Amino acid sequence: MPTLTFRDIANMTGGQVIQGAEVVTTSVVIDSREVKPDSVFFAIKGERLDGHQFLAQALQTARGAVVSEIPANVDPGKGIVRVGDTTVALQMLARSIRRRMDFTLIGITGSAGKTTTKEMIAALTATERRTFKSWGNFNNLIGCPLCIDNTPDDAEVVVSEMGMNHKGEIAQLAGLTRPDVGVYTNIAPVHIEFFGTVEKIAEAKRELLENLREGGTVIVNVDNEHVVNISRDYDGPKRSYGIEHPADYRATNIRERGLLGTRFTLEAEGEKREFDFILPGRHNLENLLAAIATARAIDISWQGIERGVHDIKPAYHRGVIVPWRGATIYDDTYNSNPYALGRAMELMTQADVKGRRIAVIGDMLELGDRELDYHRDAGRAIPRGVDAVIGVGKRSQALLDGAREAGHSEVHHFDDAKAAGEFVRDFVREGDLVLIKASRGIGLDKIVSMLENNAEGGN
């Protein structure tokens, strides 16, 4: 963020300076454990925690705080700004910073692949432009503004996810920040418990293109009918990408190399270019096509794009390959939904495997009243090339029922990650390929940690 005084912060958030008007700060935090000496701490009131409880701890290090409740006995050298709502103030600060700083903002939304696409776009744009990206999957009404609030002074490109659980959230995020480029990955039944139908999810996702800056560019996945439908009437600049259908940026002559990645021909701008891409699976290839289309939309050269593609690595717990006792663990434990799980299953069958293909699948969350139907359907769709299915969590019982209906006989169920990890540790043999995937809340990353900690064979 730019260097701001607490008077500046008050003006930008509609707050009142209580003390320390001329104290300066250069970063925003909402977690007292992440406070730095140059920080301003926003005391956010959440559903479970109130940041005001941690104010004293934060002010031991921070330059000051933005609060809705004035604390007592504050060091007179600290800056304090009072606002009506600290979450709204965080958002108002983001809007003000966006207006005063000259950077290209790229907003990404979709049902799956947002974080991976964000990482890829940042990798490509960073080859030629100073690029700042949101960290982790900070993409909600707090995380997205927090990203903008911490944008460095010299940033030329900012890449931010824009997620949602309810209608109106993307409109609020994009309305605050007015992205220059809006990127759509895909639209599928994720968070459907809050919407009821995929069509209503698509309506909510449309809010991004409706709130782009005037003349903003939208990046469209032509292989996803819902993305095509919501963007059909957009009259601003539009660039498309895809595999199955004609597109401005289209992958052809695709050569799957299992876990070694993909080779493909990119047909774009009247030319053909050959690429080697380290990340496996069609879903990652789609994400890369979105990143390439986005990078070209902001004039990154083909030379820069080629360098960026070469340097791309998988994000944390999102398709990370972990060698283990001669087997291969595919750590995809950060998140899951029926759409993403289906794609992971495709990857399992494409991989060149000496041993067995083993799928460790945890519960998929936020699927609404039909969650058991979605799990059963996902189980039925598991390819016969998968040799063993291990379900983790109460919902995965329905998935295993579906797997049995599809003809799978080697199925196992466990209530939690610890029990599943102990089984997997003894079950997996040299040459096996093991996919581990679930919604983040199920904690299957613990299985990966358990295996890594027992890499030499101990218990």
195 pLDDT more than 80: no
pLDDT in tens, 87-106: 999 999 999 999 999 999 99
| CB contact set of 16 (below 8 Å; sequence gap of 6+) | 10, 81, 82, 83
Domain 4-85 identical in fold to domain 320-453:
no
pLDDT band of 211, cuts 50, 70, 90: very high
224 to 28, 154, 229, 245, 336: CA distances (angstroms): 37, 36, 9, 10, 19
Question: Could you tell me the residue ranges of all domains in the chain?
Answer: 4-85, 101-311, 320-453
180 pLDDT more than 60: yes
- Please give the average per-residue pLDDT across 330-357, as a whole number: 87
Which of 129-133, 281-285, 401-405, 426-430 is predicted least confidently? 281-285
Which of 189-193, 220-224, 261-265, 444-448 is predicted least confidently? 189-193
CATH fold for the domain made of 101-311: UDP-N-acetylmuramoyl-L-alanine:D-glutamate ligase (3.40.1190)
CATH fold for the domain made of 320-453: Protein-Tyrosine Phosphatase; Chain A (3.90.190)
458 pLDDT more than 50: no
Rounded Cα–Cα distance for residues 404 and 305 (Å): 45
pLDDT band of 459, cuts 50, 70, 90: very low
pLDDT band of 348, cuts 50, 70, 90: confident
- Give me the percent of the chain exceeding a pLDDT of 70: 96
Rounded Cα–Cα distance for residues 209 and 179 (Å): 9
CA contacts within 13 A on the Cβ side of 352: 6
Pairing mode of beta strands 217-221, 4-5: unpaired
Average pLDDT of the chain to the nearest whole number: 91
- Please give the average per-residue pLDDT across 138-146, as a whole number: 81
- Please give the average per-residue pLDDT across 11-29, as a whole number: 96
DSSP string, 251-320: EEEEEE-GGG-EEEEEEETTEEEEEEESS-SHHHHHHHHHHHHHHHHTT--HHHHHHHHHH--PPTTSSE
- Please give the average per-residue pLDDT across 181-197, as a whole number: 80
* pLDDT value of residue 192: 60
pLDDT band of 325, cuts 50, 70, 90: very high
Q: What CATH number labels 4-85?
A: 3.40.1390.10
Q: Which residue has the higher pLDDT, 199 or 165?
A: 199
Q: Which residue has the higher pLDDT, 256 or 238?
A: 238
pLDDT band of 455, cuts 50, 70, 90: low
* pLDDT value of residue 287: 95
Which of 65-74, 333-342, 420-429 is predicted least confidently? 333-342
- Please give the average per-residue pLDDT across 15-21, as a whole number: 96
pLDDT in tens, 395-412: 999 999 999 999 999 999
* pLDDT value of residue 457: 44
Please, are residues 390 and 412 in contact by the beta-carbon 8 Å criterion?
yes
73 pLDDT more than 80: yes
* pLDDT value of residue 93: 96
* pLDDT value of residue 138: 62
* pLDDT value of residue 410: 96
- Give me the percent of the chain exceeding a pLDDT of 90: 72
pLDDT in tens, 270-308: 999 999 998 888 888 999 999 999 999 999 999 999 999
Q: What is the pTM for the complete model shown? A: 0.73
